[in-house]
Amino acid sequence: MEPLLIITNCPDEEVANAIALALVEEKLAACVNLLPRVQSVYRWQDAVESASEIPLLIKSTAACCAAIETRIRELHPHQVPEIIAVPITHGLPAYLNWLAEETLQ
């Protein structure tokens, strides 16, 4: 089991809640944290943009990563949503075991 922290940003609470709920209900993620709004500054189509977004921290596994990407792309309104996966190399063993038990393997 390879645990991952997957990060995405959503344009509003409605999208953030829909993605979080879908991922947990479908056992693609053990837990999703919805963080307070952040201000993002980025370049898109040759212009510098600024947007208020809701970050999601998705705790899952490498086995679920492709399905998570698919679900985010289905539920997210942006043409190219941010989806970044970071390996979890260390963690409380009991927590990582729970994470594995709560996701599809």
pTM over 0.85? The answer is yes
Q: How many CB atoms lie within 10 A of CB 17?
A: 15
Between the alpha carbon of residue 31 and those of residues 22, 42, 46, 66, 78, the distances in Å are 11, 27, 36, 17, 23
pLDDT tens sequence across 30-85: 999 999 999 999 999 999 999 999 999 999 999 999 999 999 999 999 999 999 99
Query: Which residue in 58, 93, 94, 50 sits closest to 75, CA to CA?
Result: 58
pLDDT tens sequence across 32-45: 999 999 999 999 99
- Please give the Cα distance from 53 to 68 (Å, whole number): 19
Return the half-sphere exposure (C-beta side, CA atoms, 13 A cut-off) of residue 24: 15
The phi, psi pair for 35, rounded to 5°, reads -90, 165
- pLDDT value for 1: 87
Q: For each of the domains in the chain, give its residue range(s) and CATH number, in order of start.
A: 3-101 (3.30.70.120)
pLDDT at 105 over 80: no
- pLDDT value for 85: 98
- pLDDT value for 23: 98
- pLDDT value for 97: 95
